[in-house]
Amino acid sequence: MTMSMEDIKMLDKQDMLGKLKGFASQCKDGYSFTIPVLPFKSIEKVIFAGMGGSAISGDIIATIASKNSKIPSFVNRDYTLPLWAHNERTLVVAISYSGNTEETLSVLEEAKKRKNSIVCISSGGKIEKIAREENIPFLKIPSGYPPRCALGYLFFSCYKIMENIGLVPPLENKLFIKMEKWIERFLPESNNNLAKNIAEKLHNKVGIFYSSNKFIPVITRWKTQIAENSKAFAFINVFPEMNHNEIMSWRYPEWFIERCLPVFITSRKEHPRIELRFKITKDIIFKKQPEIISLVPEGEDIIEELFYFIILGDWVSFYLAIMNNENPTEIAEINLLKQKLGG
């Protein structure tokens, strides 16, 4: 379907487009923030406590850390901490853009009781108040964004803190330069626009996103951005697990399979057996649904690959929102739910 700048201006009432255009500079800013002094030593485990856009930051860091550090890291999307997080050698990173996420606040209170090491990241709210009152290391990021549009601030400020404790390696400026170039290619006026092309194929379809385990943060972000921005369903699964069960789902219901669009997100650096699994699985699915999208990232290392895909997915979800005749920023059902919960 065709989509004009007039369509974008009419539907994009809170300027999601501007936020997407400014993402690279937001990331650079996030990485340049002055991080708080961390009083703790000998950290043995890290838990990122957050939801939605905040939790994705933990997902990405945990993926990078697994290749760079012997300290295990976990993402906690819940009201409570696991029992093994029981002393100061477990670092709890309470990360909430608003500072008022009830699940994260609940974990923060529990972490205080358990005498965990804690660091907080938010734009304000109750988390800032608690951190200031309790003298907990706190990093304040700029406010005024929908939480999912603040990933640059949330992730890169958190990354800098984790870099300081040796969980992840330092970043080079070339990452932000590459981000600028990728964004330029996905702008509405850009020709041969991959993001727009994918959105056109996904329009009125259900995206089924498959990747290897290292790209779980990517397909999770694609799914949540398509939900919040595009107001549409998408499903995700990973290799090799998908081969042990979901591969059998490509039979019924036939009407659903006709509406599905499989999207394979792979790297040039996959395990050889994963590569073979992708190839065989595509051949099997092709017999049921011949329209398959295969995507390979740009980038020299894992963080570049991850952010290439994240930027691409954010633009796909934006264009799909416009094609669905939706305001990409509006989240009425989420707001209604929070209101009924008393938040």
Q: Note whether 215 and 295 are same-domain residues.
A: yes
Please check whether residues 142 and 205 belong to one and the same domain.
no
Token pair, residue 28, equals 């650079």
Inside any domain, residue 26 = no
Which of these is catalytic: 115, 269, 279, 338? 338
User: Do 141 and 127 contact (CB within 8 A), yes or no?
Assistant: no
Query: What pLDDT, on a 0 to 100 scale, did the predictor assign at position 179?
Result: 98
* Shared-domain flag, residues 62 and 115: yes
pLDDT of residue 41: 83
Q: Spell 260-290 as b/e; 16+ CB within 10 A means b.
A: bbbbbbbbeebeeebbebbeebeeebeeebe
Task: Domain count for the chain, please give it.
Answer: 2
Residues 96, 218 within the same domain: no
3-class DSSP state of 164? helix
Tell me which amino acid residue 328 is: P
Residue 179, in any domain of the structure: no
Judgement on whether residues 123 and 229 belong to the same structural domain of the protein: no
User: Per the residue annotation, which of 41, 70, 113, 244 is the catalytic one?
Assistant: 244
Q: What is the rounded CA–CA span in Å between residue 121 and residue 99?
A: 8
Residue 255 lies in a domain: yes
Q: Is 214 a catalytic residue?
A: no
pLDDT for res 120: 98
Q: Is the peptide bond before 253 cis (omega within 30 degrees of 0)?
A: yes
In a domain, 294, yes or no: yes
Task: From first to last of the 343 residues of the chain, give the pLDDT tens digit.
Answer: 678 899 999 999 999 999 999 999 999 999 999 999 998 888 999 999 999 989 999 999 999 999 999 999 999 999 999 999 999 999 999 999 999 999 999 999 999 999 999 999 999 999 999 999 999 999 999 999 999 999 999 999 999 999 999 999 999 999 999 999 999 999 999 999 999 999 999 999 999 999 999 999 999 999 999 999 999 999 999 999 999 999 999 999 999 999 999 999 999 899 999 999 999 999 999 999 999 999 999 999 999 999 999 999 999 999 999 999 999 999 999 999 999 998 5
**338: annotated active-site residue:** yes
* Dihedral of the alpha carbons of 66, 86, 102, 161, in degrees to the nearest 10: -40
Rounded CA-CA distance 153/122 in Å is 10
Q: What is the pLDDT of residue 261?
A: 98
* Co-location of 236 and 273 in the same domain: yes
Question: Do 141 and 206 belong to one domain?
Answer: no
The reported pLDDT for the residue numbered 40 is 85
Structural domain range at position 128: 33-171
Looking at residue 1, its pLDDT comes to: 65
Q: Among this protein's residues, is 203 annotated catalytic?
A: no
Q: Are residues 135 and 227 in the same domain?
A: no
Are 48 and 97 found together in one domain?
yes
Task: Please return the burial class of 339, using the count of CB atoms within 10 Å of its CB with bins 0-12, 13-18 and 19+.
Answer: exposed
Among 103, 163, 228, 305, the active-site one is 228
Q: Are residues 202 and 120 in the same domain?
A: no
CATH of the domain at 228: 3.40.50.10490
Q: Residues 79, 154: one domain?
A: yes
CA–CA gap between residue 149 and residue 314 (Å, rounded):
9
198 and 304 fall within a common domain: yes
Q: Is the overall model pTM greater than 0.85, yes or no? A: yes
